[in-house]
Amino acid sequence: MKNYYKLLELDPEASDEVIQKAYRTLARKHHPDQYHSTNKAYSSEHMKNLNEAYTTLSNPSRRRRYDAQFQSFKNSRKTIDGKVAVEKIKNIAFWATLTLVIIGAFSSFARIFFLTPVGRIILVVAMGFLFFKFRNFRKKRAKA
C-alpha cells in the first residue's frame, strides 16, 4: 500500500490547504514537460502517483477511509514483519552455530582453536544453543 503522505511529503495531520499547496509544488517540479525525453516515463509515473495521492487526500471521506486502511496495514505489517524477522534471525543463528560445531569437530585449525579458553567458551555456548533449539523444536512437534 502506498504512503500518500510520504509521497506528497506531508504530515498525516496536514490541513486541506497544506495538501493542496504541497501537491501543486510537487506537480510543478515533476511535471513531464519539465524533463527531457529520457526522464518522461519516470515523470509521468510519478505524476500519476501524485494525482492519485492528491485525489484521495483532498476528499475528506476518502481520506478517512485511507487513514483507517493505512493504519490497519501498518499494524498488520509490524506484527508479520516482527515475527518473520525473529524467525529468520533464529534460523541464521541455528545454522551458523551448527556450522561452527561441525567445523570444530573436523578441522585441525578448529581443534587447536577450541583448545584455547575463548574457543571452549564459544563451543559450550554453541552447543547449549543447539540443545535449546532442538528441545524447542521437539516441544513444537509434540504439540502439533
How far, in Å, CA of 67 to CA of 138, rounded? 43
Please spell the DSSP secondary structure of 24-52, one letter per residue: HHHHHHH-GGGS-TTTHHHHHHHHHHHHH
Q: Model's pTM, two decimal places?
A: 0.52
Domain boundaries, the chain: 4-58, 82-143
How far, in Å, CA of 140 to CA of 92, rounded? 19
Question: What does DSSP assign to residue 116?
Answer: S
CA 110 to each of CA 43, 70, 77, 96: distance values in angstroms, whole numbers, following the listed order = 57, 52, 42, 15
Three-state DSSP at 12 gives coil
Annotation: CATH topology of 4-58: Helix Hairpins (1.10.287)
pLDDT tens track for 32-73: 887 666 677 778 888 899 999 999 999 999 999 999 998 888
pLDDT tens track for 86-106: 677 677 777 777 777 776 666
